[in-house]
Amino acid sequence: MSTRHARLRLVVAALGLVALGLAGSATAAVADEEEGVDLSVVIDDITPPGQLTLTVAPNDGVVLTENGSDDTARQFTGTLPTVTVSDTRTPEEIPDGAYWAVVGQAGDFVNGEHTIGAEHLGWRPQLLTTSPTGNVAEGEPVSSVIPDGTGAPAVGLVGQELLVSTFSAEEETGSWDVTAELALRTPTDVEPGEYHSVLTLSLFDQ
């Protein structure tokens, strides 16, 4: 072996030892001290936008019972379960000039092949919650087509009739309860039997 080749091998061997030394020192490095930093974050609830809602108190339906019949009509009365309108919107969420209304419309009373038209059912709405501004008010009474003697329009609930409303939603928000006295007035010779109908309540927001 020549002297030159021997020197080259020694240099290569030396470089290999240096590389092994560096690798060994890297893997063996251990921190002398450690410190932890606590992390925390507060995540607020996302506030949903306000809503205008309609709910009816839990009930098993309304059974109308005979009360106030006379020679001109048989009359059956009952009370509408409490209806609640809630408006949780902020004034900024309510468009200028907005208003809302709840209307009611009855279906015909049916007993097999016998029917009593919805026009025979009337009501007298009553707001149970005080309106601070006076902007929320109950609708006007509606009589059966067989007049009840009060002078109320004798049209019945065959169409959509007003239960409660406001003409300025932005001026008053909150929750309001309303009910109505129901009166079904039929001819005196109405066919006996058990009749059924549905009174549909609808909330309109304009």
Side-chain-side CA neighbours of residue 117 (13 Å): 10
- DSSP structure string for 74-87: EEEEEEPPPEEEEE
Task: Write the single-letter amino acid at 20.
Answer: L
Closest among 101, 160, 103, 161 to 136, alpha carbons compared: 101
Q: Is the pTM of this model over 0.75?
A: yes
Domains of the chain, CATH where assigned: 52-205 (2.60.40)
Q: Running DSSP on this structure, what letter comes out for residue 189?
A: T
Residue 30: predicted pLDDT = 75
Q: How far apart are CA 160 and CA 19, in angstroms?
A: 93
Tell me the residue ranges of DSSP E strands in the chain. 52-56, 65-66, 74-79, 83-87, 100-106, 109-111, 114-116, 121-127, 136-138, 161-166, 174-186, 199-205
Residue 29: predicted pLDDT = 66
The rounded average pLDDT for each run of 10 residues, N- to C-terminus, in the chain (206 residues) is 45 44 54 89 87 96 96 97 96 92 98 97 98 95 97 97 95 95 98 97 94
